Amino acid sequence: ATGEGRPRRQEALVVATLREAGAVPFVRGRTGHAVANPWNGDRSCGGGAAGSAALVATGCVPLAVAADVCGSMLVPAAATGIVGFRPTPARISRKGTPFADQSAFSTSSLAGIGALSRTVGDCELFLRSVCVPSHYDRDVCGTCPFVCKEPPPPTHKKVFRIGYFVPPGCVPAARRALYETVAVLAAAGHATVPLAPAAPAAGATERLA
């Protein structure tokens, strides 16, 4: 559909590519800030892709395609507790979307076509399904091709030294989450080191006052 809700005569290239990969598009989420947050009806989903985020968060759909210029997709993802994936602009074709304008410095040139999902793995599947030669061949001038490669198998386990800091006044829930994360890292064999903030230089407090 267009930004005004009028049906388009031809579907966007990204949708066509997903359909060829076996996806079944069947619904369009409402846009705008007026969509109620499914976890708290007194709050909104916070951005342009609000309806799509609500659909994904409540399990109505496994994945939604969306566009993001300045948080239209990532803010709703954060507000509803799901994964928002915004690739580099032009990584995925904008052909057939309201952001198809290729003019340099236009708002459309900043839009990245990405996905909303409940898992990182589903977003990876989305990228692998779209970033294929047939997708780029149909929009040579409007895309920056990218080929997904299988990661090489690890030859050895890397061990990291990871520092963590508990800020003063940290609320109990955040403190608990931090220590649980530290415990998981330590159990995986990594060295976890508590950090203390550096003391301010002499006279710094007076100069800032």
Rg of the chain on CA atoms, in Å? 22
Asked if residue 2 has pLDDT above 60, the reply is no
**Quick one: which of 59, 116, 49 has its CA closest to 82?**
116
DSSP state letters, 105-148 = TSGGGG-EEEEEESSHHHHHHHHHHHSSHHHHHT-TTT------
Mean pLDDT for the chain?
A: 83
Query: What angle in degrees, to the nearest 10, is found between the helix axes of 120-130 and 13-20?
Result: 100
CB atoms within 10 A of CB 185: 15
Asked if residue 1 has pLDDT above 50, the reply is no
Residue 6 — pLDDT band, cuts 50, 70, 90?
low
Per-residue pLDDT tens over the stretch 110-137: 788 999 999 999 999 999 999 988 888 8
The answer to whether the beta carbons of residues 80 and 39 sit under 8 Å apart is yes
pTM value? 0.66
Asked if residue 208 has pLDDT above 50, the reply is no
> Side chain identity at 107, as an amino acid letter?
T
- The pLDDT value recorded for residue 20 is 92
